[in-house]
A and B are shown apart, each in its own frame.
Chain A
Amino acid sequence: MALTQGISSAFIQAAHALGEIDPEDAPEIARSIEDGLIALLPEMPRSRDTLRQVLHSGSPRILSALLEIQGADPYRKIQADPGEQVALHDLYEDSDVARLRILHEAGIRVDSQFNALRQVLLSRTPPALLEFVLIECGLTDTLFPDFTLQMIRRASGPTAPVLAQCLESLTPDMRRACWREVVKQIAILIQMKPLAAALLSGEDLTKLLPRPVVPGHFPCKLRPLLEMTTTAHGRMALRKREPDLADLLARPENAAFFGITSKDLRE
């Protein structure tokens, strides 16, 4: 017991020391502290505190070593228990995909703080984290279908291909739910970028429109485009005009989509 307590205390202190080291500034020192921490891992208890300290150390190497030395089972259970789980906010905030990936590959939940993860994805849209969460982990329900419109509007350079890939690989039901959500929202406030993305969805948008809204509700420039989604030929023609969803999503909101800008719609 005394051995474990002493080692736990030493581990905490050394993890703090590691936190003070800039690995680019002093790589050998960081490596040496990591070596020391890894040497202590077999003596550490299999508890939430150990996982917390390992995560606090900020080192993917130590996290891998922990799961290798002690096994992932105890930590899988800890992270599955809402009363016990260690918060992963810091990893989300820092887009620390390396450590999230290690947890995920060991079968440990990485979306235990679901709302925090969603908030980071929505507010900062870090491309690496987005790709990891949506594509690698397949945790599409963090954003879809509720926040499809916001994600399309916020998509830019590096996030666009990730979002495009994700939208194209959704299950048919989820896809339909996403585009229904987009169409519902743009029926209230028409925005060209999400509408253009919806036009490329391969769905018949007229069927997705909410009940009282009819295609006639939209400006006359858009009506032919909406009509085109009702037929396979029309949808192919739309694809021809905007063949790349990623390219479309990468454009700013005030750019032209299908030759129309949001400003044109207001005129």
Chain B
Amino acid sequence: MTDHNEALRNLGHALFCLPEDAPDQGRASFLASARALLRGIEDPGEALKSALASRNADLLDAVFKAWPETKWTRVHFQSGAAKIGTLAGEMRIDLLRLCRNAGLYINDNIHHLVASALRADNADALRFLREECGYTAPFWKPKDIASGLILCGPNAAPFLWEEFQGHLDTPHGQAMQSFLQFGATRAYLKEIAALLASGRDVTRYFRQDLDLLNPHVAALVQKTASNHGQLALKSLESDPIAVIGRPFEAEFYGISGKSFHQDYPPKAAQ
């Protein structure tokens, strides 16, 4: 007698193991078989578990369509299926979107997606977070905006820039209080450069640390307090998004991010 659950589980694993460049017919046949097996399965939890294990969006979609009235959050919790955080860590936006559309509550674990998206510089994942999950400040929420800023690549830069502006425009906001939290003298050049490129007076973020900074860097920061200074900074770095999207070891305002602390030591260390 056919054991539909076991067969589906094995097919789910088979689909998971198949590499991207495996023959299409193999994948299509396994998928068709898995879909056909769904008809013999009584427990939607088992089907969900196999579908999530397969990481195959078509199979997952078929499972959700096969049991349209199911309360998937409860079923998912009870089934021991792959965790939403795992899917987020793997940046499986297609699966997360299907889960969300089927009514499965994913927001508690979706923050895992931010770190992965930043590491992979994946704009699609960030767009999904903002536009579909309502994550308006994804970089700030999970940890620290400075960490996000340091990791940020060119694809994520427009998103981070937008969020960064929002934080800058929020007086007494927690995000900016934690920015430069280890002291301006130890900050990465990229953090300082992002502030310089923001087009705002950022001297207040440095507070008493301004006196401790290397005079050259302190002079750059003080330029933000005047229109002339802003224009001078603009002539050095015209595009803030390009600044945010550059690797932290690159050059900012003519200074190398790699050897910043050696080349421009703080006053105290001079």
Contacts and interface: CB of A to CB of B under 8 A. Distances in A.
Interface of A: 2-3, 6-7, 9-11, 13-14, 16-18, 20-22, 25-26, 28-29, 32-33, 35-37, 39-40, 42-43
B225 to A, nearest CB: 56
Contacts of B13: 9-10, 13
A114 B29 CA distance: 38
15 contacts: A7-B17, A7-B19, A7-B26, A14-B11, A17-B8, A17-B9, A20-B3, A20-B4, A25-B2, A26-B37, A29-B7, A29-B37, A32-B32, A33-B11, A40-B23
Contacts of A26: 2, 36-37, 40
Nearest to B32: A32
Contact of A36 (B4, B9, B17, B29): B29
Contact of B18 (A7, A16, A20, A22): A7
Interface string B36-52: 11001000000000000
A185 B48 CA distance: 65
Interface residues of B, number: 31
B19 A2 contact: yes
Interface string B15-38: 111110111011111101100110
A17 B4 CA distance: 9
B17 A13 contact: yes
A153 to B, nearest CB: 37
A25 B1 contact: yes
B1 A3 contact: no
B7 to A, nearest CB: 4
Nearest to B13: A13
A17 B32 CA distance: 13
Contacts of B17: 6-7, 9-10, 13
Contacts, number: 98
B180 interface: no
A14 B14 contact: yes
Interface of B: 1-4, 6-11, 13-19, 21-23, 25-30, 32-33, 36-37, 40
Nearest to B21: A3
Given A16-B10, A17-B10, A21-B7, A10 B15 contact: yes
Given A10-B17, A26-B36, 11 more contacts: A9-B13, A9-B14, A14-B14, A17-B10, A26-B40, A29-B37, A32-B33, A36-B30, A39-B25, A40-B23, A43-B22
Given A3-B21, A29-B37, A43-B23, A13 B1 contact: no
A16 B14 CA distance: 9
A40 B25 CA distance: 8
Nearest to B12: A13
Nearest to B36: A29
A23 to B, nearest CB: 9
Given A2-B19, A3-B21, A21 B2 contact: yes
B25 A36 contact: yes
A39 B16 CA distance: 16
A115 B28 CA distance: 43
A134 to B, nearest CB: 34
A22 B4 CA distance: 10
Contacts of A22: 1-2
B7 A17 contact: yes
A10 B6 contact: no
Q: Report the 6 A-B pairs with minimum CB-CB distance, sorted nearest first.
A: A36-B29, A17-B10, A13-B14, A9-B17, A6-B19, A20-B7
A21 B5 CA distance: 10
Between A9, A25, A36, A40, the greatest number of chain B beta carbons within 10 A of the residue's beta carbon is seen for A36
Given A29-B37, A35-B25, A43-B23, A20 B30 contact: no
A36 B7 contact: no
B22 A3 contact: yes
B26 A39 contact: yes
Contacts of A17: 6-11, 14, 33
A43 B18 CA distance: 11
A36 B27 contact: yes
Contacts of A13: 10-11, 13-14, 17
A89 to B, nearest CB: 23
A42 B24 CA distance: 13
B219 to A, nearest CB: 53
Contacts of B9: 17
A43 B21 CA distance: 11
B25 A6 contact: no
Nearest to A35: B29
Contacts of A33: 11, 29-30, 33
Nearest to B54: A13
Contacts of A7: 17-19, 22, 26
A32 B36 contact: yes
Contacts of B23: 39-40, 42-43
